[in-house]
Structure 1
């Protein structure tokens, strides 16, 4: 019970800080953008590197298979569901499939199970980011697959995961002072990410429009139900890998969908609208998710 209470407080206090700051700040967009970049380019890579480099490589390989296969299965199910629900509208397949695999899952996993669980979210996000950035140019019409691959190689967490696995495989021991500093700085990432999400909350009116309802059905109903039924076929039910993969299956569309839409579409407003509203709705669903997964 105490762990669940800590998870709720760890989620909603930083979120509330962002919302309150937005209400009284005149330059909230700039603050949100700068904080996002700090998290993405600095604190989050440190967090992932620390989480992965401390694990035995043999354990990483098994968990890597679990998370890669889980992410691939959920992506395929989400693609099929989006094509059916949106009746073949390709542009809406991307936000249905490319989900928030780091900013929201990491704070939840961190508060429930500590830093030992974070590398699993990193593995899941690695697959999800690859699929999102490579498929975006194909789904959003303008541009080509090369642009998606270039975006992937400009994604700092990608290198943090690879470098962490290299350090683990080679059994390199970092100096204690350096390792401690990396861990301390990385722990800021989950809370800063939630503050950024709070800063992005703007209009709560008409939150459940037609597109948002469809995305909600895919992301919060079809995806988690599929995960709950299929993942136990190859992932041990009481393992951290199963719990983190289950959390990932509940996640809303990634904010990166908006960035990709701005680059590849003439009218990205539709995707931006659905990403924002689905993310807000997810903050209402997450408490139930924490209770369910925290009790496993």
Structure 2
């Protein structure tokens, strides 16, 4: 496990970040319209396509709901603690980031390397739980950093991803077949999501200076992402192994969900709600750079221990 090479995934992501930085610095590209596209068009279509292609079953949806519940609990816990130390917008951003991670364009390539095909499917449904959190509980908590309860709920109700999830579930339950030409078209959106999601980090960084670096905020993000999440998922896997006896593939999928860096959607949501996106971008970049060093060590220690139960 210690020999896992994450350099390709890292350099790919950093290349997209660099393109975004150049677009902001040289071309004066405004990232806000791109954030709106990601939230209201690209993410919902990517989510819908994943659901219709993944053939959800009751067992798989339990995984999604379990990860959603874990993400929600961590978000609410951090939100309560952070309210004592941070201003409203920083508190909201930290709480949102506490429930999510870069499970998609960072974690998914690693899952393809480490897991068998059935394990990759399990990982995808765990990943759906993170995405569902981002655009439900996470979005609401973030919005409360700037808006009232009523306005936050109104903004939440406008999010199409909620309806994309419901529609995807309905299509799968009724066993409707998406025409091949439509499925092929929807497949392109996942690549847009990856490229634009990482570029928007670079665009945000291209508009700020390191004078805006907030050590307390970054430290909070690092602790939540690389201490709290790994411990929480490790505890969950151990409890499941000792109670219902989950498979090795599912155990590794859970551990990987807990070890990825901060999600690029932290910046996307912060940009859409205008709650300190520059601080989120700096924290995402730092955790992304640290992840290739930490993930092999963490999995190399945690996985053999878990599999011994």
Q: Is the shorter-chain TM-score for this pair beyond 0.5, marking a shared fold?
A: yes
Corresponding residue for residue 121 of structure 1: 127
Q: Does 1:191 align with 2:189?
A: no
- Give the Cα separation in 1 of the matches to 2:139 and 2:18: 31
1:265 alignment partner in structure 2: none
CA distance in 2, matches of 1:156, 1:125: 13
Structure-2 change in CA distance of 1:253 and 1:108 (3 Å)? closer
- After superposition, give the CA deviation of every residue in 1:62-97 in whole Å (9 maximum; x if it has no partner): 22232122212322442344245x18x655432221
Contact persistence 1:219–1:249 (CA under 8 A): no
Match of 2:29 in 1: 28
- 1:209 maps to 214
SS of aligned partner of 2:9: helix
Partner of 1:279: 284
Whole-angstrom distance in 2 between the partners of 1:207 and 1:230: 36
Measured in 2, the distance between the counterparts of 1:47 and 1:289 equals: 29
Aligned position for 2:174 = 170
Partner of 1:288: 293
Distance (whole Å) between structure 2 residues aligned to residue 120 and residue 274 of structure 1: 27
Q: Contact 1:121–1:244 at 8 Å: present in 2 too?
A: no
Structure-2 change in CA distance of 1:94 and 1:201 (3 Å): same
Deviations 1:35-70 (A, max 9, x none): 223322222222211111122332432222321222
**Counterpart in 2 of 1:74?**
74
Match of 1:10 among 9, 12, 33: 12
* Pair 15,91 (structure 1): closer, same or farther in 2 beyond 3 Å: closer
CA shift, 1:194, in A, is 0.8
Gaps of 5+ in 2: 113-119, 304-309
Q: Measure the CA separation in 2 of the matches of 1:43 and 1:259.
A: 14
Per-residue Cα deviation, 1:174-205 (whole angstroms, up to 9, x for no partner): 11221122113333211121112111113452
Distance 2:156 2:104 in 1: 20
The verdict on how the C-alpha distance between 1:176 and 1:253 changes in structure 2, with shifts beyond 3 A counting, is closer
Cross-structure match for 2:94: 96
Tell me the SS of whatever aligns to 2:136. helix
SS in 2 for 1:174: coil
Q: Unpaired segments of 5 or more residues in structure 1?
A: 263-267
- Could you say which residue in structure 2 is the equivalent of 1:62? 62
Count, aligned residues: 281
* Aligned CA distance change for structure 1 residues 109 and 47 (closer, same or farther; 3 Å): farther
Measure the CA separation in 1 of the matches of 2:298 and 2:170: 31
TM-score (norm 2): 0.74
Q: Which moved further from structure 2: 168-177 or 106-115? A: 106-115
**CA–CA separation in structure 1 for the residues paired with 2:259 and 2:177:** 31
Distance 2:101 2:258 in 1: 16
**Scaled by the length of structure 1, what TM-score is found?**
0.77
DSSP 3-state at the match of 1:57: coil
CA separation of 1:104 and 1:186: change in aligned 2, threshold 3 A: same
Q: 1:154 aligned to 143, 154, 158, which one?
A: 158
Give the 3-state SS of the residue equivalent to 2:97 in structure 1.
coil
- Contact persistence 2:205–2:278 (CA under 8 A): no
CA distance in 2, matches of 1:156, 1:180: 21
- Write the distance in 1 (CA, Å) between the matches of 2:255 and 2:234: 13
Coordinate RMSD, CA, aligned: 3.4
Cα distance in structure 2, aligned partners of 1:109 and 1:217: 17
